[in-house]
Amino acid sequence: MRHLEVDREVGGWWSAHGDEVESCLDRDGGVVLDGPGLTDVANFQVLAELACGPLSRDNPEHPLVGDDPTGTVNRPVEYSSKRKLLWHNENTFATEWPRRIAFGCQRAADRGETPTVDMTAVYEELTPAVRGRFEELGVTYVRRLGTDLGLDWPTVYGTTDRQAVERRCERDGARWEWSDDGRVLTTWQRRAAVITLPGGRRSFVAQVLHWHPRALDEDVHEAMAALMPPGEFPKTCTFGDGSPIPDEDVVELLTTCDRLEEVVGWTEGRVMLLDNLRRAHARNPYTGERRLLVAIGRAVDHATAGSGHGG
């Protein structure tokens, strides 16, 4: 990815270099920006709005930044600093997919990089059989909200009204089922695994490595399996028709992403802009304090995200 220096006030710099940033994103799927004060919350919000706007608000998957009055700047998802968070295209299990994502570093830890991988290259590297299964069938994401692990459904849906949740599921095209006591909500959402980007390239966007039990670290998988069958984990996924995704398909995807990933180190004030449907991102383990900002935007409906047109 290309590195650019922001040497003046964000709005003025964007007026002069915004087209250059867009060209980098179109060509490489990402760009790195460095400059003083870029990750002050207000400056980051302005830059993210220019590069990724309109920005999404109140993302339930990520905690909000307290000093952002717009409600569009978040912190990364909480996850053990001792483990690698695997590659994923942000929110591509949901109804709306962000086309753009911005990360900004306020404090860099020892490691803790955000590796990225070009998912058009991953698509091309996958064996035809694996690629074909995902293209034909897509992926169904199965989520159990309200178990002893993971988020509960009032947090994700922003309400304690079960009927409101059901209306939302219906709008999202999701199937749902309540436990007898109403504490656990299970949803099934079928989504495309491969889409066509502007220019005609195919990109693998399925969040298999965040949802499939085979992608968990072995000790985590064993600990969870001691509590419940893998089919009842808080997050699982199948092919779109409900048939199981073979472990060997997941391993092939893991090894391909690992081989093709690109790593840019974090320094204070650095910003990374990504085409979220072109580049997946991960997070390396780290020690010390790591403080990042994140904003997502240019939402597209999952049904039209792979139309091959801009947006």
Identify the pLDDT of residue 178. 97
Q: Are 251 and 214 in contact (CB under 8 A)?
A: yes
98 vs 295: CA distance, rounded Å: 10
Place of tokens 């060209």: 23
272 vs 101: CA distance, rounded Å: 8
274 vs 32: CA distance, rounded Å: 9
For residue range 108-164, what is the model confidence (pLDDT) as tens digits? 999 999 999 999 999 999 999 999 999 999 999 999 999 888 789 998 999 999 999
* CATH numbers and ranges of domains, the chain: 2-77+95-108+265-301 (no CATH), 121-256 (3.60.130.10)
pLDDT tens string, the chain, 311 residues long: the values are: 999 999 999 999 999 999 999 999 999 999 999 999 999 999 999 999 999 999 998 676 788 898 899 999 999 988 999 999 999 999 999 999 999 999 999 999 999 999 999 999 999 999 999 999 999 999 999 999 998 887 899 989 999 999 999 999 999 999 999 999 999 999 999 999 999 999 999 999 999 999 999 999 999 999 988 888 877 899 999 999 999 999 999 999 999 999 999 999 999 999 999 999 999 999 999 999 999 999 999 999 999 987 665 44
Element (H, E) at 278: none
23: number of Cβ within 10 Å: 13
Identify the pLDDT of residue 134. 98
Give me the residues paired with residue 188 across strands. Answer: 142, 175
253 vs 259: CA distance, rounded Å: 10
168: number of Cβ within 10 Å: 18
- Closest to 278 in 3D by CA, of 122, 166, 84: 122
